[in-house]
Amino acid sequence: MHIKRRDMKLTGTKDGCKNYYSKEMIIGSKEAIVSIIKFNNINEPVEVHYNYKDATIIDNNYTWIQIAIKNTNFWIKSMFDQNNKMVETYIDVTRNNYFDDLSNPEYEDLFLDIVIPYKGHIYQMDDVELMKALTEGLITDGEYKLSKIVSRNLRNFLDKNHQEFLDFINNLKKELEIDLENKGKII
């Protein structure tokens, strides 16, 4: 077990190609980087398995929208299938978000996650991993508490603003699809 550092371009995705576009924007009053990735030539779909269902999150003509907001401890990923139906939104609670490369920001995963199947219940995931990271000394007590607080705040926000949040993601996707068509690049 270790703390994973991930990036917006999904460096290390096993196969296929990705059409990618990112840009800076203001969300609320905070600076953010948002991106769109369209997957093509995928040899084998990527599936995740939850207690409540299985979900394909990467396959041909699937789209990801990502949102990295500066000075926060979370990273939002929304996945859409080949029919443009939202599969889920996955929010990583993060130790740090790094914006050194604005075209490809990175984050350190702090284990705890929020998963929102489209029109579904809000789930908190990986509590056991978070506790294991604490007991193994991978994270500090402060980081453990930070993860719990961020997760609780996100769930409270989503409980009150679930549909507005999903509408925002869908509208952002439409905007980014136009940008991708005009300015995107294969990575």
User: Residue 14: what pLDDT?
Assistant: 65
Residue 85: strand, helix, or coil: coil
Question: Where does the pLDDT of residue 15 fall: very low under 50, low under 70, confident under 90, or very high at 90 and above?
Answer: low
Handedness of CA 161, 163, 167, 170 (dihedral sign): positive
> In order of start, what are the domains of the chain with their CATH numbers?
5-186 (2.40.380)
pTM: 0.94
Q: Fill in the DSSP letter of residue 136.
A: T
Residue 106: partners with Cβ closer than 8 Å, 6 or more residues away = 5, 6, 7, 8, 97, 98, 100
Candidates 12, 3, 8, 96; CA nearest to 46 is 12
Half-sphere exposure of 27 (CA within 13 A, CB side): 18
- What does the alpha-carbon distance between residue 112 and residue 175 come to, in Å, rounded to a whole number? 29
Kindly report the backbone phi and psi dihedral angles of residue 69, in degrees, each rounded to the nearest multiple of 5, phi listed first.
-100, 130
Report pLDDT digits (tens) over 133-165: 999 999 999 999 999 999 999 999 999 999 999
Higher pLDDT, 68 or 120: 68
Whole-number average pLDDT of the chain = 92
Q: Residue 12 CA to chain centroid, in angstroms?
A: 16
C-alpha 159/C-alpha 29 separation (Å) is: 21
Identify which of 64, 75, 163 has the alpha carbon closest to the alpha carbon of residue 113. Answer: 75
| Alpha-carbon gap, residue 24 to 34, rounded angstroms | 6
Q: Are strands 86-98 and 106-117 parallel, antiparallel or unpaired?
A: antiparallel
pLDDT in tens, 45-83: 999 887 767 889 999 999 999 999 999 999 999 999 999
